[in-house]
Structure 1
Amino acid sequence: MGSRLRDWVLSVIRGRRGVLASMTRAGLWTLQWPYRLAVAWRNRQFDRGVGVVGVGVPVISVGNLTVGGTGKTPFVEYLAQFLRDSGLQVCILSRGYGSDGGRNDEAMVLEENLPDVPHLQAADRVTLALTAREELAAEVLILDDGFQHRRLARTCDLVLLDATDPFGQEHCLPRGLLREPIRNLRRAHMAIISRADQVSPDELQAIRTQIQRIAPDLPIATAVHQPLELLGVAGQQQACELLAGRSVVAFCGIGNPEAFRHSLEQLGATIRAFRSFPDHHAYSRDDVADLERWVESQADADAWVLTTQKDFVKLQIESLADRPVWALRIGMGLREGEERLQALLEQVAASPSVPLPDELDEE
């Protein structure tokens, strides 16, 4: 789907007005029902244990209910660092969306920020888990984007909800952005509301109320995305505070580009122009040449060019149109519920793991 068509469809899902938009929503509303039935049948099979495989070590799944960015990468980094600092051998497993056969942007970011934590990527995450246990001596596994990947048995499910759109317009794909119905949040062991600082206190309380209505006993934590530093291609590091009052042009290819824009505005940057690409965008030479022309036409002589770390690890360019390019590195900070989350992690890491099936048991 082209970027313009994608943006138009998203605007329709989110309430765009007009006859064509209304007719399109009606069609998408009808199309969501076969999808919901397929999801329900699949989940029923997994609920019965059909096809679920344990791998002999605790598995912590990090996922979400919606498509698009909820901040899983910095949260996975937070979990891996906490478990590693607790003296555990940790390994991250992921599908590798957008990798095009190699390491995807999320893997490259995690490897850059946590070089001592192995990260395995492949479609078959059961095989990855066995590899991590047998060859890397992993004591606990973090399954990235795993809430819907139920073939690998997990010890707990942590689900992120983006405060700016927590429930995907309350419709399943393609009418809304939900991967599965909201009520399936009952499978989770904790909900983490990310970007909690980007909504009002009343809006945040409304999200809490809806979660509690769906899953009354589900623990809830709130988190914010914290700008940590600016990174240069040669390993330079600059304080984020340097962006205050500075003229910048910015671009990104992430699931929630407005969150990146918001971070820059919070740091006091003056955004002269902003451009977004699809999530996991693979930048070509033509893209770089186009960005050069765009920066040249939009930026003043003193402007910096800003992008995300996910985009930067793929581009690895020092400048565009003779302006320095900097990546904004983001971390996850827990506002509420951090002690409860850490207690859950410690409990999971110490818990008996899901046993291997008979055919995989070691002699």
Structure 2
Amino acid sequence: MDEVEYLRIISGQRQDWRARLLYKPCFRFLSLLYRVGVSVRNRMFDWRLRSVRTVEVPVISLGNLTTGGTGKTPFVAYLTQWFQNHQKQVALLSRGYRALPGEVNDEKLLLDRLCPGVPHFQNPDRGDSAVKAIQEGAQILILDDGFQHRKLERTVDLVLIDAVCPWGYGSLLPRGLMREPKSSLRRADFVILTRVDQCSAPELEQLSQELTRLVPADRIATATFQPRVLINVKNEALSLKSVNGKRVWAFCAIGNPAGFRLTLEQAGFDVAGLQVFADHHHYSSDDVQEIGAQAREAEVDLILTTGKDLVKMSEPMFCGVPVWGVEIGVEIREGSEFLEQVLQGLIK
């Protein structure tokens, strides 16, 4: 079973007898075992039965409760630029999830472009990376996808929650996409609801009420991801205004493909189709040919993808159709003053 089919099952899109009578009961049982494991692990850290490494500079962890899809990468870039604007030397620490042997993953490639010159250490042992980063002059460490990585002490825990699919279909892995239960948010210092422009006002209100039972209201902010410009593999830029209303074919390999499609539609594109690949997918020449063929058949003007996917491409055209990546930026809506206070506290 591939990842796309797995998501169709746990989201309820697939309702055949195998999904209802075989896969879901199996996933539910495994989720119970997973819950026990997560609970035991967290208690061991809470009670200091497992060692936690401490370093001498502030560590800001950016993470989530679910597997991917909340917008961590653009938010890492946002935080990096904020600290740089305050004259702090920043280093990024990440695991290097799904990197090919001897290579770096797509998130590092994208962050290297968004944050040029910022050291980025990829290593499952974030403690070792932290020591190396400090030795090289880092004054602030940003721990990417760090909420569950409790082996490194952090000064601030920021948690992102996707307002469109906040609780990963309501269950822990593998029945749903949650890495931890909602109650784990109590150890977060600040929560940021992302993609609030992609859900209705009643849905957002209900979600806010759920959150305030776990996190004080003055520790919650809302944010959106706004398209800014199109970039191609030659690092050429194209304004959104110049292609507004164009018919496009899209593809992506991210945690929230539906959110990407909605972003394109809200930006004014006519989306003829969206090809979805597993998160962090490594594209083959056959994939490129298939995408190009589908785009040509749909008679589109452009092929669009995410910035994270574009960095894995080498050709500016697929089957004669121009390929562009959508570069997005973070816009804090509500709670910006509270988030500013949190960040200011790290540079005093």
User: Contact conserved, 2:9 with 2:24, CA < 8 A, in 1?
Assistant: no
User: Contact conserved, 2:229 with 2:327, CA < 8 A, in 1?
Assistant: yes
User: Contact conserved, 2:232 with 2:323, CA < 8 A, in 1?
Assistant: yes
The code of the aligned residue for 1:338 comes to S
1:312-331, aligned counterparts within 5 Å? 312-331=310-329
Once the 2 structures are TM-superposed, how far is the Cα of residue 312 of structure 1 from its aligned partner?
Answer: 0.7
Are 1:196 and 2:196 an aligned pair? yes
Normalised TM-score (structure 2): 0.95
Q: 1:4 to 1:67 in 2, by over 3 A?
A: closer
1:174-253, aligned counterparts within 5 Å? 174-216=174-216, 219-253=219-253
The whole-number CA distance in structure 2 between the counterparts of 1:174 and 1:63 is 19
Are 1:114 and 2:115 an aligned pair? yes
The whole-number CA distance in structure 1 between the counterparts of 2:152 and 2:218 is 22
2:192 aligned counterpart, secondary structure? strand
1:315 aligned counterpart, secondary structure? coil
Please list every run of 5 or more consecutive structure 1 residues that lacks an aligned counterpart in the other structure.
Answer: 351-363
Residue in 2 aligned with 1:87?
A: 87
The whole-number CA distance in structure 1 between the counterparts of 2:2 and 2:16 is 21
Which deviates the most, 143-152 or 197-206? Answer: 197-206
The code of the aligned residue for 2:261 comes to R
User: Contact conserved, 1:251 with 1:306, CA < 8 A, in 2?
Assistant: yes
User: Contact conserved, 1:54 with 1:152, CA < 8 A, in 2?
Assistant: yes
1:25-104, aligned counterparts within 5 Å? 25-49=24-48, 50-101=50-101, 102-104=103-105
The whole-number CA distance in structure 1 between the counterparts of 2:312 and 2:124 is 21
Are 1:307 and 2:308 an aligned pair? no
The code of the aligned residue for 1:323 comes to V
Taking only the aligned residue pairs, the percentage that are identical comes to 43
The whole-number CA distance in structure 1 between the counterparts of 2:109 and 2:244 is 28
Once the 2 structures are TM-superposed, how far is the Cα of residue 181 of structure 1 from its aligned partner?
Answer: 0.8
Once the 2 structures are TM-superposed, how far is the Cα of residue 73 of structure 1 from its aligned partner?
Answer: 0.5
1:143 aligned counterpart, secondary structure? strand
Are 1:145 and 2:145 an aligned pair? yes
The code of the aligned residue for 1:291 comes to I
User: Contact conserved, 1:296 with 1:321, CA < 8 A, in 2?
Assistant: yes
Once the 2 structures are TM-superposed, how far is the Cα of residue 4 of structure 1 from its aligned partner?
Answer: 4.9
Number of aligned pairs?
345
Which deviates the most, 142-151 or 37-46? Answer: 37-46
The whole-number CA distance in structure 2 between the counterparts of 1:244 and 1:233 is 21
Once the 2 structures are TM-superposed, how far is the Cα of residue 245 of structure 1 from its aligned partner?
Answer: 1.5
The code of the aligned residue for 1:344 comes to V
Once the 2 structures are TM-superposed, how far is the Cα of residue 19 of structure 1 from its aligned partner?
Answer: 4.2
The code of the aligned residue for 1:110 comes to L
Which deviates the most, 250-259 or 21-30? Answer: 21-30
Once the 2 structures are TM-superposed, how far is the Cα of residue 217 of structure 1 from its aligned partner?
Answer: 6.0
Once the 2 structures are TM-superposed, how far is the Cα of residue 218 of structure 1 from its aligned partner?
Answer: 6.2
The whole-number CA distance in structure 2 between the counterparts of 1:322 and 1:90 is 41
Once the 2 structures are TM-superposed, how far is the Cα of residue 177 of structure 1 from its aligned partner?
Answer: 1.2
User: Contact conserved, 2:4 with 2:276, CA < 8 A, in 1?
Assistant: no
Which deviates the most, 330-339 or 284-293? Answer: 284-293
Residue in 2 aligned with 1:353?
A: none
User: Contact conserved, 1:72 with 1:145, CA < 8 A, in 2?
Assistant: yes
The whole-number CA distance in structure 2 between the counterparts of 1:216 and 1:115 is 36
The code of the aligned residue for 1:27 comes to C
**Residue by residue, what CA displacement relative to the aligned partner does 1:93-120 show, whole Å, maximum 9, x if unpaired?**
0111121131211111111011032111
Are 1:335 and 2:333 an aligned pair? yes
Residue in 2 aligned with 1:126?
A: 127
Q: 1:196 to 1:217 in 2, by over 3 A?
A: closer
The whole-number CA distance in structure 1 between the counterparts of 2:14 and 2:288 is 32
Once the 2 structures are TM-superposed, how far is the Cα of residue 340 of structure 1 from its aligned partner?
Answer: 1.2
Please list every run of 5 or more consecutive structure 2 residues that lacks an aligned counterpart in the other structure.
Answer: none
Are 1:267 and 2:259 an aligned pair? no
User: Contact conserved, 2:275 with 2:291, CA < 8 A, in 1?
Assistant: no
Q: 1:9 to 1:68 in 2, by over 3 A?
A: farther
Residue in 2 aligned with 1:354?
A: none
Residue in 2 aligned with 1:356?
A: none
